[in-house]
Amino acid sequence: MTPEALAALHAACFTVPRPWTAAEFTELLARQGTFLLPEPAGFLLGCALAGEAELLTLAVAPDARRAGTGARLVAQFLAEAAARGAETAFLEVAEDNHAARALYERAGFAQAGRRRDYYRHPGGTATDALVMTRAIGAQA
3-state secondary structure of 12: helix
| 104 assigned to active site | yes
The one catalytic residue among 104, 105, 118, 119 = 104
| 118 assigned to active site | no
Residue-by-residue DSSP string for 64-132: GTTSSHHHHHHHHHHHHHHHTT-SEEEEEEETT-HHHHHHHHHTT-EEEEEEEEEEE-TTS-EEEEEEE
The one catalytic residue among 92, 95, 105, 119 = 92
Mind telling me the catalytic residues? 92, 104
